Amino acid sequence: MNGWIFILVCLTILIWAALCLVYDKRPRFLRPVTAITILCIWVAALWTLIRRFTEGLGAVTGMNDNAPWGLWIGVDVFAGVALAAGGFVIAATVHIFRIKRFEPILRPTVLTAFLGYILVAVALFIDIGRPLSWWHPLVMWQEHSIMFEVTWCVILYSTVLAIEISPVVLERLGLTTLLRLVKTITIPVVIAGVILSTMHQSSLGSLYLIVPEKLYPLWYSPLLPVFHLLSAVAAGMCVIIVESFFSSKILRRGLESSLMADLGRAASIILFLYLVIKLADLAVRGSWVLILEQNLQSNLFLLEMLGGVVLPAILLSFRRVRKLPRGLLAASTLVMMGIVLNRINICWFGMSVSDQLHYIPTWMEIAVSLGSITAGIIVFFLAVHYLPVFPKTEEELPGAVSPLPNAA
Amino acid sequence: MTKNQHMTDTSAFNRRRFLQGMAGATGLSVISPSSLNAHLPAHAETPSVLVDVTRCIGCRSCMRACKNANDLPNDTDLSKGFPHSWDRQELRFDQWTVVNPATGCNADGTEVTRNVKTQCMQCLDPTCVSVCLVGALTKSELGPILYDADRCIGCRYCMMACPFDIPKFEWKGGMSPVIGKCQMCTRKRLAEGRIPGCVESCPTGALKFGQRDTLLFEARARIKTRPERYLNHIYGEKEAGGTAWLYMSDVPFESLGFKSDLETAPMPPLTWEVLNKIPMVAAAMAGLFGTLAWSLNRRESLDSQESPDNQETPE
Ligand code: SF4
Ligand code: SF4
């Protein structure tokens, strides 16, 4: 119980801190309070991890024999991978489709994706029962398993991201020969990254193809891989918007608002596409009637679809909303929360028998998730501080930076 | 089954899988849908057990025998609740079979209680084997599905995917927990030509061990001679593509808690059909994006040659 109060307090403070940034209010105690909160979360997470590695998963998580996958898989891995999808979208935009306008946000986006995948890898290391055997999939092959394919794609794609982000470090260290080498292989590497991402983003959905009678029919569909890929692309773009917004606030730099508006528009189109396919799929399989059931699953499904897809898709389709940084931010946050809810629904509520939940997460699981997210954010800003991630001066981007957003 | 077949060393099988893995690691592995099953005995010859639910008195001898046969801790009081009804027991990583009273409903609406034994069904086309990414779960040459803790990474996908919810996990296992499930005494008893521990211990003949086609024949014969005693449904004959454990009963299986919404087609193709398209899609994407990037890049460099100071188009 005390643990839950602790989590609630921490969450409230973090949300308050984010809102302060959004509304340009910077009370003097903002920094110390946030820092202390994050430290407390880390201590709790560390303590949880020590117990997890000494006693076992059952000692700290709510997972059990009837619910083998919990929040760490649903949020840290499934949602984490989806939210990091922006990396391959922007890399493809710049390097394959050669739309050079997006170059200013390429590096921060790839950095976000890279850190995201590191967090996913850490989460997997914590969550798999026998962490010391993490390397087994590399030498023990079972090509019939979707999990095998996902594992390989994630490992290879993390390597791709490391190569894509390496110029930042190489530039800083002044290693020009290596830098030139990386530049020459960039396009093939980016293409490999796009293929690998398409494969594992969709395959995370395919993981559930094997449980047609276990996953609630509102989510089970032969099209799961398509849904996972589309939603990840949309959410990945929204993460870029949110990330750019907050870095513009924290680093006190301009916001590439025309690029953000374009991203918002693209996300809206993809969300509508997702919605159409989803509705068609529900109609064809006849499972749409379950929406009217008014049980736990149908309510969560409605929340996810209306709040995370329909509403932001409509909001983002208005030019007026896209012009306002805060409007963009709000809609993008909705999309992000929608996709997190979707992954939680699939891995938790959708796999439970109607109203009987086999699994309730513990506060310690949430502490670890929060700890890893905050660690990711802090490492991001440290990297931005010490490495040439953002373009040096704003004059380098004529037309891209508008002075308006901070005043809005 | 001849004694010779029983003697087949299961480690030879594991060695082969390992070699396959090595071949894969060097890029030699040929991905083919049949490679998982190519070396297996015909389904008809698979060692199987026929469970006659009407004959089970719920004595739980098989539970004890299972623990002894597999060196599992035998410290649970299985007779708690006597004499009215046993306390319910669940499958655990160290309890591979359970017998529980289940109250079902006859066709005419009368309530009846039967004792139902649960354990791994030893699917003919096992879902767990198809999902395990490191090959820790394998179908042995004898037929039953074996688990190898030394390969397992503990991802628990097998638990999530098994249509019968059989594999269980050692939740308090620190850094090296294991998955536990019935392996039909393959390594210790079948390989020596002995029958599974539970079958040996059953005092009423509710369990019968044999070749799958023989048992199916026997079950059909029992149904035919005593149609008033048995339902005309052998559970496991078709469920999830067929299982080695077969059940017959006088009470509808669904009302006794058996899963009734399973397809008769095997489950592994559900993912394999997506998986086997991936190489093609990946190749197509590589070609498409490669051409695109190359041609756009070329046009760019041509453009920049013409007007060197106008490399970027603003909108
Ligand atoms: S019942 Fe489950 S654990 Fe047993 S063989 Fe079938 S899929 Fe595997
Ligand atoms: S938990 Fe072990 S046996 Fe089960 S799928 Fe994962 S690696 Fe295979």
Looking at this predicted complex, what is its ipTM? Answer: 0.89
Put simply, the chain A residues between 304 and 363 with a CB less than 8 A from any chain B CB are 351
Among A293-297, A351-355, B20-24, B138-142, whose mean pLDDT is lowest?
B20-24
Q: Where are the alpha helices (DSSP H) in B48-115?
A: 61-69
Put simply, the chain B residues between 63 and 102 with a CB less than 8 A from any chain A CB are 90-92
- Looking at the structure, do residues B117 and B213 belong to the same domain, yes or no? yes
- Looking at the structure, do residues B189 and B256 belong to the same domain, yes or no? yes
B6 versus B191: the higher-pLDDT residue is: B191
Put simply, the chain B residues between 199 and 258 with a CB less than 8 A from any chain A CB are none
Any atom of ligand 1 within 6 Å of the Cβ of B166: yes
Pocket test of ligand 2: the residue of B120, B134, B176 to mutate, having most ligand atoms within 8 Å of its CB, is B134
- Cα(A154)–Cα(A134) distance, rounded to whole angstroms? 13
Output the domain CATH number for residue B232: 3.30.70.20
Does residue B240 surpass a pLDDT of 80? yes
CA B128 – ligand 1 centroid, Å: 6
- Looking at the structure, do residues B188 and B315 belong to the same domain, yes or no? no
Determine which of A145, A189, A197, A401 to mutate to test the interface with B (most B C-beta atoms within 10 Å).
A145
Q: With an 8 Å Cβ cutoff, are B161 and A210 in contact?
A: yes
CB A165 within 8 A of CB A111: yes
DSSP A4-30: HHHHHHHHHHHHHHHHHHHTT---TTH
Mean pLDDT estimate for chain B:
83
Output the domain CATH number for residue A139: 1.20.1630.10
The answer to whether position B235 is within a domain reads yes
CA A65 – ligand 1 centroid, Å: 15
Q: Give residue-wise pLDDT tens across range A163-187.
A: 999 999 998 888 888 999 998 899 9
CB A206 within 8 A of CB A225: yes
Q: Where are the alpha helices (DSSP H) in A134-223?
A: 136-139, 146-173, 176-206
- Which amino acid is present at A151? T
Pocket test of ligand 2: the residue of B148, B155, B181 to mutate, having most ligand atoms within 8 Å of its CB, is B155
Among A177-186, B21-30, B87-96, B225-234, whose mean pLDDT is lowest?
B21-30
Q: Give residue-wise pLDDT tens across range B184-210.
A: 999 989 988 899 999 999 999 999 999
Task: Please list every residue in chain B whose beta carbon sits closer than 8 Å to the beta carbon of residue A96.
Answer: 289, 292-293, 296
Closest CA to B115 of B217, B247, B226: B247
Please list, in sequence order, all residues whose beta carbon lies within 8 angstroms of the beta carbon of residue B284, skipping any fewer than 6 positions away.
Answer: none
- Cα(A402)–Cα(A254) distance, rounded to whole angstroms? 7
Put simply, the chain B residues between 141 and 200 with a CB less than 8 A from any chain A CB are 151-157, 159-161, 163, 165, 168-177
Q: With an 8 Å Cβ cutoff, are B286 and A207 in contact?
A: no
Does residue B88 surpass a pLDDT of 90? no
% of chain B surpassing 90 pLDDT: 55
The answer to whether position B310 is within a domain reads yes
- Looking at the structure, do residues B8 and B64 belong to the same domain, yes or no? no
Does residue A252 surpass a pLDDT of 90? no
Q: Give residue-wise pLDDT tens across range A268-288.
A: 999 999 999 999 999 999 888
CA B71 – ligand 2 centroid, Å: 22
The answer to whether position A356 is within a domain reads yes
The answer to whether position A299 is within a domain reads yes
Exposure on the CB side of residue A321, measured as CA atoms within 13 A: 18
Number of domains present in the structure of chain A: 1
Q: Give residue-wise pLDDT tens across range B266-285.
A: 999 999 988 888 989 999 99
User: 3-state secondary structure string, A224-289?
Assistant: HHHHHHHHHHHHHHHHHHHHHHHHHHHCCCCECHHHHHHHHHHHHHHHHHHHHHHHHHHHHHCHHH
Atom 2 of ligand 2: nearest residue by CA position: B152
Any atom of ligand 2 within 6 Å of the Cβ of B156: yes
The answer to whether position B178 is within a domain reads no
Neighbours of B285 (CB within 10 A): 16
Does residue B11 surpass a pLDDT of 80? no
- Looking at the structure, do residues B109 and B47 belong to the same domain, yes or no? yes
- Cα(A63)–Cα(B154) distance, rounded to whole angstroms? 13
The answer to whether position A92 is within a domain reads yes
Q: Give residue-wise pLDDT tens across range A116-155.
A: 999 999 999 999 999 999 999 999 999 889 999 999 999 9
CB A81 within 8 A of CB A198: no
The answer to whether position B53 is within a domain reads yes
- Looking at the structure, do residues B251 and B298 belong to the same domain, yes or no? no
The answer to whether position B201 is within a domain reads yes
Please list, in sequence order, all residues whose beta carbon lies within 8 angstroms of the beta carbon of residue A330, skipping any fewer than 6 positions away.
Answer: A315
The answer to whether position A84 is within a domain reads yes
Ranges assigned E (strand) in B162-263: 168-169, 179-180, 207-211, 245-248
pLDDT band at B20 (very low <50, low <70, confident <90, very high): very low
Is B43 at the interface with chain A, CB within 8 A? no
Nearest to A95 among B135, B261, B293 (CB): B293
Q: With an 8 Å Cβ cutoff, are A210 and B296 in contact?
A: no
Average pLDDT over residues A61-74: 93
Does residue A403 surpass a pLDDT of 60? no
Any atom of ligand 2 within 6 Å of the Cβ of B134: yes
Q: Give residue-wise pLDDT tens across range A75-117.
A: 999 999 999 999 999 999 999 988 888 988 999 999 999 999 9
Neighbours of B174 (CB within 10 A): 15
Task: Please list every residue in chain A whose beta carbon sits closer than 8 Å to the beta carbon of residue B131.
Answer: 145-147, 210
Does residue A355 surpass a pLDDT of 70? no
Number of domains present in the structure of chain B: 2
User: Residue A241 burial (CB < 10 Å; 0-12/13-18/19+)?
Assistant: buried
Determine which of A140, A200, A224 to mutate to test the interface with B (most B C-beta atoms within 10 Å).
A140
- Full domain range(s) for residue A83: 71-396
Does residue B310 surpass a pLDDT of 70? no
How many angstroms from the chain centroid is the CA of residue A96? Answer: 23
- Full domain range(s) for residue B25: 1-32+278-315
- Looking at the structure, do residues B120 and B219 belong to the same domain, yes or no? yes
- Looking at the structure, do residues B1 and B95 belong to the same domain, yes or no? no
The answer to whether position B82 is within a domain reads yes
Q: With an 8 Å Cβ cutoff, are B172 and A58 in contact?
A: yes
Give the residue from B249, B268, B287 where a domain finishes.
B268
CA separation, residue A299 to residues A137, A336, B110 (Å) = 38, 19, 37
Q: Give residue-wise pLDDT tens across range B140-177.
A: 988 899 999 999 999 999 999 999 999 999 999 989 99
Closest CA to A109 of A132, A84, A92: A84
Average pLDDT over residues B64-75: 91
The answer to whether position A276 is within a domain reads yes
**To the nearest whole angstrom, how far is the Cα of B229 from the nearest Cα of chain A?**
31
- Looking at the structure, do residues B205 and B101 belong to the same domain, yes or no? yes
pLDDT band at B41 (very low <50, low <70, confident <90, very high): low
Determine which of B137, B160, B258 to mutate to test the interface with A (most A C-beta atoms within 10 Å).
B160
Does residue B302 surpass a pLDDT of 90? no
Among A224-233, A315-324, B38-47, B122-131, whose mean pLDDT is lowest?
B38-47
Q: Give residue-wise pLDDT tens across range A2-54.
A: 889 999 999 999 999 999 999 988 888 999 999 999 999 999 999 999 999 99
- Looking at the structure, do residues B202 and B288 belong to the same domain, yes or no? no
Q: Which ligand is nearest to the CA of B179?
A: 2
- Looking at the structure, do residues B113 and B6 belong to the same domain, yes or no? no
pTM reported for the whole predicted model: 0.87
Give the residue from B230, B246, B268 where a domain finishes.
B268
Any atom of ligand 1 within 6 Å of the Cβ of B127: yes
pLDDT (0 to 100) of residue B19:
40
- Looking at the structure, do residues B60 and B9 belong to the same domain, yes or no? no
- Cα(A68)–Cα(B93) distance, rounded to whole angstroms? 13
CA B167 – ligand 1 centroid, Å: 7
% of chain B surpassing 70 pLDDT: 83
- Cα(B200)–Cα(B209) distance, rounded to whole angstroms? 9
Give CA angle at B284 (B283, B286), nearest 5°: 65
Please list, in sequence order, all residues whose beta carbon lies within 8 angstroms of the beta carbon of residue A23, skipping any fewer than 6 positions away.
Answer: none
- Cα(A99)–Cα(B312) distance, rounded to whole angstroms? 9
* Tokens 């079972």, residue located: A142
- Cα(A196)–Cα(A402) distance, rounded to whole angstroms? 35
